[in-house]
Amino acid sequence: MDSYQLPTWLVSVLFLSIFSVQASAKVNNDFQNWSIITLNKQINDKWGASFELQNRLVGSLSTEGTFFIRPAIFYRVSKNISIWQGFTWNPTFQEQGYLNENHIWQQVAVNKDIHGVKFFAWNRLEERFIENADGTSLRDRIRIGARIPIFQLKTWKFITFDELFINLNEVNNGPAKGIDQNWIFTGVEKQVNKNTTLEIGYLLNYLNREPEQLQHALNLNLNINI
């Protein structure tokens, strides 16, 4: 297997993205931990199911921030394309309890292996039902990334992706229309055994708020095929 190194264009994009946001006059920074466990089950050649649990510690790891329970089913249209239907329960914890939020979402996912580099992309439409908001908020999420072999290490890969969140409509007491946030992730993936992988890395989350916010997250993701 040929050796791979991080493309120069990708390094430039990551650097410019971080630098441009940091250069803003008013930016709130926070250090967080995002821990994710995902269970995947292939039911037959076409159908499968997924169940995700995610917890986020915020406030420099001092406070419970938010929690996700995300079940889904998927159907493989072809070797490289699948369509998904899912649900998310996402409470955000506050001083006076928590703000409740539920999502119904649909997704199209594409995967392609090119010379050992596994490219992936998906587009997810979320219908968000947010407590106290006067209507349903629609949000589009677009993720593009790749898993790249690390030299001759068979069980290790470099992983990177960018994910853009766009609110498609305006909701009273809810999200504003336009860009909501953007994730940039870089890390490594370890193949623990034939059914389990572990991802660890750094995720920079830019939130389009007033003032602007940067979340620096240690991201841990355990994927288990059952």
- Domain boundaries, given as residue ranges, for the chain: 32-177+188-201+219-225
pLDDT, tens digit, for every residue of 20-36? 544 545 789 999 999 99
pLDDT of res. 95: 78
CA-based R_g, the chain, Å: 18
pTM of the model: 0.86
215 HSE (CA, 13 A, CB side): 23
Cα separation, 125 vs 138, whole angstroms: 7
pLDDT at residue 18, as a whole number: 52
**What fold, for 32-177+188-201+219-225?**
Porin (2.40.160)
Neighbouring-strand partners of residue 207: 181, 213
Split at pLDDT 50, 70, 90, the class of 101 is very high
DSSP string, 186-222: EEEEEEEETTEEEEEEEEEEEE--SSEEEEEEEEEEE
